[in-house]
């Protein structure tokens, strides 16, 4: 059986094609202003990568993410909470807590040993702890998102960034820049600040190991280290790009639903 999962997020679109429980294609694109277009672009690319000629070869497609209501070729949509949970648990079966750090929100999901969602928390009406936060900081530092990853971990003493509000944190960063503080120190401070925010969310839901990170920001190694230190745990990397975990989950749910249909 060949199935697809597409995750139309606020910043990127992700798609995964699976055949008999194996990933045979995946792709990511930047989000366009039309979610149906983002979904089409990314799904076509993933299908092509899987060596298939057309979407018609897929037995079922599930979509998720903020644009999930706008995807014409998916039969059903499932929330990104369920998809990240399913994806992370399949990729790492010992997972009991998922922290997904996406473009415009972050969520902490608590799982049972079977991978079902027990509880979850999301940041509400606030950019703190999201990709947008990092984008704002990168703007203040004139270094781009890649710069944030590249410049961290240069052994500098981290600055203290006390504001978790992205607007005020940006002002704080601008002050540090103007005082002549080295960029790696500021970036380390930013990562610690986001990790603090995630730390309280994890504690609110209740930490049960193993904990894994999904979403685009989980590729920021400085952030992962800062969070691991705060929680006093080891955070293992997923065996695939953590940004596609939601699309993997969507594909798994697509397979399950197609299987149930027979």
Binding site residues, other proteins, CB under 8 A = 66, 69, 78-82, 105, 116-122, 124-125, 204
Please, which residues have CB within 8 angstroms of residue 93's CB and are 6 or more apart in sequence? Answer: 115
Q: Which is nearer to other proteins, 76 or 182 (CB)?
A: 76
Please, which residues have CB within 8 angstroms of residue 212's CB and are 6 or more apart in sequence? Answer: 88, 91, 92, 95, 97, 98, 99, 235, 236, 238, 242
Please give the Cα distance from 43 to 41 (Å, whole number): 6
What's the chain's length in residues?
A: 262
Please, which residues have CB within 8 angstroms of residue 222's CB and are 6 or more apart in sequence? Answer: 148, 149, 152, 153, 187, 188, 191
- Least separation in angstroms between residue 9's CB and other proteins is 11
Q: Which is nearer to other proteins, 54 or 261 (CB)?
A: 261
- Least separation in angstroms between residue 101's CB and other proteins is 16
Q: Which is nearer to other proteins, 120 or 133 (CB)?
A: 120
- Least separation in angstroms between residue 184's CB and other proteins is 33
Q: Which is nearer to other proteins, 116 or 154 (CB)?
A: 116
CA distances (Å), origin 243, targets 123, 188, 220: 19, 22, 11
- Least separation in angstroms between residue 81's CB and other proteins is 4
- Least separation in angstroms between residue 246's CB and other proteins is 12
Q: Which is nearer to other proteins, 100 or 152 (CB)?
A: 100
- Least separation in angstroms between residue 69's CB and other proteins is 8
What are the structure tokens assigned to 26, written together?
Answer: 């995946």
- Least separation in angstroms between residue 49's CB and other proteins is 28
Q: Which is nearer to other proteins, 99 or 159 (CB)?
A: 99
φ, ψ for residue 84, nearest 5 deg: -65, -40
The dihedral sign for the CA sequence 74, 77, 80, 83:
negative
Please give the Cα distance from 179 to 173 (Å, whole number): 10
Q: Which is nearer to other proteins, 216 or 246 (CB)?
A: 246
Please give the Cα distance from 35 to 164 (Å, whole number): 29
Query: By the 8 A CB rule, do 247 and 6 touch?
Result: yes
């Amino acid at each position: 059986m060949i199935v697809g999962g597409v995750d139309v997020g606020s910043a990127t679109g992700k798609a995964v094609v699976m055949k008999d429980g194996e990933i045979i294609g995946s792709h990511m694109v930047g989000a366009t202003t039309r979610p149906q277009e983002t979904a089409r672009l990314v799904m076509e690319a993933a299908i092509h990568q899987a060596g298939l000629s057309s979407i018609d070869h897929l037995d079922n497609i599930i979509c998720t993410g903020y644009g999930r209501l706008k995807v014409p070729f998916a039969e059903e949509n499932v929330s990104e909470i369920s998809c990240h949970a399913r994806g992370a648990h399949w990729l790492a079966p010992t997972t009991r807590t998922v922290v997904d750090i996406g473009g415009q929100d972050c969520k902490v999901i608590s799982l049972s040993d079977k991978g079902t969602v027990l509880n979850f928390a999301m940041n509400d009406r606030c950019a703190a702890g999201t990709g947008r936060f990092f984008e704002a900081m990168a703007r203040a530092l004139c270094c781009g998102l890649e710069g944030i990853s590249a410049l961290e971990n240069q052994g500098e003493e981290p600055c203290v960034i006390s504001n978790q509000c992205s607007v005020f944190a940006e002002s704080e960063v601008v002050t540090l820049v103007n005082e002549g503080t080295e960029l790696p120190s500021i970036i380390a401070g930013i990562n610690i600040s986001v990790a603090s925010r995630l730390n309280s969310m994890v504690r609110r839901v209740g930490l049960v190991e193993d904990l894994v990170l999904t979403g685009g920001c989980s590729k920021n190694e400085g952030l992962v280290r800062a969070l691991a230190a705060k929680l006093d745990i080891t955070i293992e990397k997923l065996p695939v790009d953590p940004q596609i975990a939601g699309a993997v989950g969507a594909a798994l749910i697509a397979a399950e639903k197609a299987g149930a249909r027979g």
